[in-house]
Amino acid sequence: MTIDPLPQVDLSAANTLAVPSTAAWCAELTDPRDLPALVRWASARGMAIRALGGGSNLVLNEQVSGLTVKVAIRGKTRVETESDRQRWRLGAGESWHQTVVDLVAQGGSGIENLALIPGTVGAAPVQNIGAYGVELADCLYRVEAYDILEERWRYFTREACQFGYRDSVFKQLENRFIITAVELELSRTFVPKLSYGPLQALATKPDLNAQDVMEAVIAIRQSRLPDPNHLPNAGSFFKNPVISFEQYEALLVQHDDLVVYEQPEGWKLAAGWLIDQCGLRGRHNDDGVGCYERQALVLVNPNRAAASSILDWQAHVQDAVFERFQVLLEPEPRFWT
């Protein structure tokens, strides 16, 4: 092993919520060949091991147990090009947003709606990130990951990833796999997806291309979402709940302005709208943790409060929404102890 884990490493700057946190042990991984030795090191000491990317979808405990592996594997390589397809192999430590920018500039399309989502490439399959009618699953070819339990490399096709709404096998079997590379398959033929909100205005733009859509997405997100470098946050904190047709009918009787999107399995509610209707946008607790003034779905932590305060506000929002709509919001971030 060419890297040695370090004890008591400060993770306060390694999570976008800026929650004060310390890793019992931490190692930065730049070469995937070091990973098997790190797993053996942790196993020999009876420690759990887990991967940390950009920290954009996490709530960290004050003390994180076990070995934290900060994944910093870089690289963008075009591994296959057909007449109408591009395949890219990406290091798990690459910035997701910069990857979108770079691949669109190379003539790829299919991921332009996913611009400005924070975090790393390796974290993207865990949540099956999505925005404006597009999910990672739409363009993923396969994932390379190390199986901690079986101590071997594995490759996951799109089907093997078991993608769902903000879900995957990597989330279902949390801390079993460490993703080291992701392969995307993009189209060279641009087919815009403009069904969501302000993007619809682009439908009449002459000579529309992926770059145009990406720039529009960036502008929309910048106008609505705070930069975590200036105002600590984890992006959208709650999933948009999917309800049955019967639930939808019952809610519509009481709320004729209900914001919903039809789905194959039911109706998707806008979680931000639900929270907004409860009067929580711009509100916060005594520690400053609260809902962003421009978008109620975003939980902010301006005073860098502890995880306990984040969880208190989460529960407050869930209780308020359930009391008014009988809908339980599910948080998007993972919680590390």
Q: Give the pLDDT confidence score for residue 70 in this predicted structure.
A: 97
Lowest-confidence pick of 63-67, 78-82, 282-286: 78-82
Would you say residue 241 has pLDDT above 70?
yes
Would you say residue 109 has pLDDT above 90?
yes
Would you say residue 294 has pLDDT above 60?
yes
Check whether domain 6-71 has CATH 3.30.43.10, yes or no: yes
Q: Give the pLDDT confidence score for residue 261 in this predicted structure.
A: 85
pLDDT class for 197, splitting at 50, 70, 90?
confident
Would you say residue 279 has pLDDT above 70?
yes
What lies within 8 Å, CB to CB, of 281 at 6+ separation is: 275, 291, 292, 293, 295, 296
Mean pLDDT value across residues 123-147 = 96
What lies within 8 Å, CB to CB, of 217 at 6+ separation is: 112, 113, 114, 115, 116, 131, 132, 199
Structure tokens at 176: 């079993």
Q: Give the pLDDT confidence score for residue 85 in this predicted structure.
A: 87
Strands (E), the chain: 6-10, 22-29, 49-52, 58-60, 63-71, 76-81, 85-91, 130-131, 134-135, 140-147, 152-157, 177-187, 233-236, 242-243, 260-263, 266-269, 290-291, 298-300, 334-336
Rounded Cα distance, 128 and 179, in Å: 13
- Distances 128 to 2, 69, 275, 304 between C-alpha atoms, Å: 32, 21, 23, 27
Would you say residue 80 has pLDDT above 90?
no
Strand ordering across the sheet containing 6-10: 6-10, 22-29, 63-71, 49-52
Rounded Cα distance, 113 and 129, in Å: 11
Mean pLDDT value across residues 216-226 = 93
CATH number at 233-330: 3.90.78.10
CATH number at 76-224: 3.30.465.10
Mean pLDDT value across residues 189-209 = 92
Mean pLDDT value across residues 128-136 = 94
Q: Give the pLDDT confidence score for residue 114 in this predicted structure.
A: 98
Q: Give the pLDDT confidence score for residue 196 in this predicted structure.
A: 83
pLDDT class for 2, splitting at 50, 70, 90?
confident
Q: Domain residue spans in the chain?
A: 6-71, 76-224, 233-330
Q: Give the pLDDT confidence score for residue 265 in this predicted structure.
A: 79
Q: Give the pLDDT confidence score for residue 134 in this predicted structure.
A: 95
Lowest-confidence pick of 197-201, 236-240, 278-282, 293-297: 197-201
What is the overall mean pLDDT for the chain? Answer: 94
Whether the Cβ atoms of residue 21 and residue 61 lie closer than 8 Å to each other? yes
Mean pLDDT value across residues 280-307 = 97
Is 0.85 surpassed by the pTM of this model?
yes
Q: Give the residue numbers marked as catalytic.
A: 166, 236, 332
Rounded Cα distance, 284 and 321, in Å: 16
Q: Give the pLDDT confidence score for residue 206 in this predicted structure.
A: 93
pLDDT class for 86, splitting at 50, 70, 90?
very high
Q: Give the pLDDT confidence score for residue 262 in this predicted structure.
A: 83
What lies within 8 Å, CB to CB, of 141 at 6+ separation is: 87, 157, 158, 183, 184, 185
Q: Give the pLDDT confidence score for residue 1 in this predicted structure.
A: 56
